[in-house]
Amino acid sequence: MVDLPICDAHQHFWDPRRNYHPWLCDEPPIAFRYGDYRALRRPYLPADYRRDSAGHRIVCSVYVEAEWDSRDPLGETRWVTALAEAEGLPSAVVAQAWLDRDDVAEVLAGQAGFRIVRGVRHKPVAARTTGDARRGAPGSMDDPRWRAGYALLERHGLSFDLQTPWWHLKAAAELARDFPGTQMILNHTGLPADRSAEGLAAWRLALETLAAQPNVALKISGLGQPGQPWTVEANGPIVRDAIAIFGVARCMFASNFPVDSLVASFDTIFTGFGAIVAKRPEAEQRALFHDNAVRIYRLAE
């Protein structure tokens, strides 16, 4: 792997001793794609991140909302802003905003007022399996109330981070088409959890549908599988397919730490990414590890 600067496009900090994150604080734990996540129920702060990423040239990072108490979305942004001022990380924030709530206009205006905020994330209602997927559910990307909240993003210059399974990407493509002035960023490679030949074929088709919209980018991250090691052999074909579908200029690598520490070390993930794209020109590697995230999240270095 070429020694490149890294802008980690998706990572989290939290301190459940001080701040209320229901999924980190409440019992019983919720169902999660990586299984038992009790190991995450501890503070994770810049010193922890720097320890985990030691040996890699992290020059900037993007904090993504961590399901902080939904009654106080601006509280999370204030806390992270103070952390950034004291610790030098993160470099940008994707903040929380519930797009179908009555206070969405007020919350978006408040989030846009923070210098460090570049966009928001709100996970739309999604089906747990492809067989359960139905269009038009309340709180989904088809919901007129949810879409009315989404329509407010452009006036504030905010991007939108989308986390949803691949079987909802047709709805996402229609959303991106209808709001071409808003940058959409699909999280975690579209969640290709089903590694069967049929599952991956459906994932690729869904990704192609979304990639047809020029205002959509892709974060390549979140590729762990419960109970299995993170390997180049397992994840290389998925990474290469994702890049082929979206193109180098719209893809960026991300750690999803500390969440993905449940399935691999930081070094395993980023060394793996490097091995997967090692034959690409250095300029393309730099784009995937650094330049695209800096451009898409409007970071000045």
Alpha-helix residue ranges (DSSP H) falling in 97-189: 104-112, 144-150, 169-178
Beta bridge partners of 253: 220
Q: Kindly tell me if the per-residue pLDDT of 273 is higher than 60.
A: yes
pLDDT at res. 129: 86
Burial 53-82 (b: 16+ CB within 10 A, else e): beebebbbbbbbbbbbeeeebbebbebbbe
CATH number 3.20.20.140 given to 5-296: yes
pLDDT at res. 253: 98
pLDDT at res. 136: 87
Q: Kindly tell me if the per-residue pLDDT of 54 is higher than 90.
A: yes
pLDDT at res. 2: 56
Please give the Cα distance from 252 to 271 (Å, whole number). Answer: 15
Question: Which tokens sit at 15?
Answer: 């301190």
Give residue 243's Cα distance to chain centre.
16
301: confidence class by pLDDT, cuts 50, 70, 90: low
- pLDDT tens digits for 149-199? 999 999 999 999 999 999 999 999 999 999 999 999 999 999 999 999 999
User: Mean pLDDT of all residues in the chain?
Assistant: 96
Question: Which tokens sit at 178?
Answer: 């209808």
- For the chain, the straight-line distance linking the first and the last C-alpha, in angstroms and rounded, comes to 23
Q: For the whole model, what pTM was predicted?
A: 0.96
Identify the residue whose tokens are 């590697």: 285
Q: Is the separation of the CB atoms in 232 and 267 below 8 Å?
A: no
Q: Is the separation of the CB atoms in 260 and 269 below 8 Å?
A: yes
The CA-based dihedral angle spanning residues 243, 246, 250, 256, taken in that order and rounded to the nearest 10 degrees: -60
Q: Is the separation of the CB atoms in 189 and 222 below 8 Å?
A: yes
CA distances from 53 to 76, 205, 233, 261 (A): 24, 34, 22, 11
User: For the chain, what are the domain ranges?
Assistant: 5-296
In percent, the amount of the chain with pLDDT more than 70 equals 99
- pLDDT tens digits for 26-46? 999 999 999 999 999 999 999
